[in-house]
Amino acid sequence: MKKTQVRDGYLFTKRYSNYVFMLLFLLYLFDYADRMVVTSMFTSIQKEWHINDTQCGWLVSVIYLAIGMLTFPVSILVDRWSRTKTIGIMAIVWSIATALCAITGNYVQLFMARIMIGFGEAGYAPGGSALISGMYPMEKRSKMMGLWNASIPLGSAIGVTMGGIIAQSLGWKHAFGLVAFPGMIVAILFLFVKDYKTVDLSFVDRSNNRVKMEKKDIIREFLRKPSVILTYFGMAAVVFVTTAMIVWLPKFFETENHLQPKTAGTLAGAVMLLALIGAPAGGFIIDKWRASQPKARLLFPAISTFVSAILLFIAFFLLRGSAQIAVLFLFGMIIMMFIAGAAAVTQDVIHPGLRATSYAIAVMVQNLLGSFTAPIVLGKISDLTNIKTAMLVLPFALLAGAALFYLGSRYYLSDMGKVTRIELEVTE
């Protein structure tokens, strides 16, 4: 091992950092394409296997349940072993699991294959966030996080759109095979990417001595940082809404606007695809604003999430037809602006040796309270009433998220002052 010669705050050379970032972007894109391709096939699957909306919702929720169960233990492996090897191996697992969905013969088999996808995806977000945080200068962290997370709406839109088109043209099972193999290729490439040396878990005590962290110190590292805890739950509130929109917006368009599955899937994908603009734009705005407002990484998510709540309220409560779709397009552009700042906070205020663990906690909270819950809750409400009534709960979840981000901003600066500074080293 040897210490890296940091150039302008970059861990590797800028060119190599951007190459690794490109692979991370593509993996996140295929992660969400594999995860969400099933949503625009719901109508086709229901006709073939005679399942209800709640059962359809479980085909998405089970992935988030699996991620929520495994992400924390896998993040420990990421932080203490290797970010790059863990990411590559787990990406291979989720790609194989997605391909297996294409040969399932009943609901239970498909359900089990979807669980395997979740197991494979459990370590990706923590590993990727830790690697990006280490590779780039802190003043560019929000921008890079925003650009990276732009792959989520892009991958989701590709999955939703391709699922609808392929289901109508070739049959719904073919879509799984077609989205699985590109991710496999990128996963293999990632096994050969450079990493940084595992960071020693130590801190500086009041006598200015470096002390090895014990379990109680690791727990205290999180519990004494209100800003990151509030950020975890604020992210969960927004993810509840974004997951619900990705999963149920095609069905909403089919039933309320009487659109064909292909058109409904394409339109819903277009709404969420606009986050491809919002996620990186949020990162650029936050990094610029941070020069004059140090708390921008949480204040901006509070503002953008509040605006998103208002737009969603107007779209679902007050509008119909083309006007409703226009407002939903604007919502799609703004909703993901929060992620760049919120994701950066999970890395900013935590010990460098626990960055993957920090994002794993964020993922666990998001998945169990947001992504896992949303498809089932809205599916159940839809079964009891209708899909429109189910969608009407979403603006209120966003208001809760905005409040949590704002409260977190009040603790951010003091929490930043508690972080142990450690120089990273590159593995050879």
pLDDT for residue 344 is more than 60: yes
- pLDDT category at 13 given cuts 50, 70, 90 is confident
Domain assignment of residue 318, yes or no: yes
Question: Could you give the CA distance from residue 22 to residue 69 in angstroms, rounded to a whole number?
Answer: 28
Across 34-50, average pLDDT: 80
Q: What angle do CA 213, 226, 237 make, to 5 degrees?
A: 120
- Is 216 part of a structural domain of the chain? no
Residue 200 falls inside a structural domain: no
The reported pLDDT for the residue numbered 71 is: 81
Q: What is the mean pLDDT of the segment spanning 20-34?
A: 90
Q: Phi, psi (5° rounding) for residue 192?
A: -105, 10
Is 427 domain-assigned?
no
Average pLDDT, the chain: 83
CA distance 342 to 212: 29
Tell me how far apart the alpha carbons of residues 321 and 256 are, in angstroms, rounded to a whole number: 9
Q: What is the pLDDT of residues 84-133, one digit of tens each?
A: 888 888 899 989 998 898 888 899 999 999 999 988 888 788 888 888 88
Which residue range is the domain that position 380 belongs to? 2-192+224-420
pLDDT, one tens digit per residue, over 249-276 is 888 888 877 777 667 777 877 887 788 8
Residue 217 lies in a domain: no
Residues 6+ away with beta carbon under 8 Å from 23: 186, 189, 190, 193
pLDDT number for residue 5: 44
| 214 part of a folded domain | no
CATH number, domain of 275, equals 1.20.1250.20
3-state secondary structure of 425: strand
The span from the CA of 152 to the CA of 275, in Å, is 8
Q: What is the Cα–Cα distance from 45 to 56, expressed in whole angstroms?
A: 8
Number of domains in the chain: 1
pLDDT tens digit sequence for 177-233? 777 888 889 989 988 888 777 666 665 555 555 667 667 767 887 888 999 999 999
Band of pLDDT at residue 52, cut at 50, 70 and 90: confident
DSSP label at 385? S
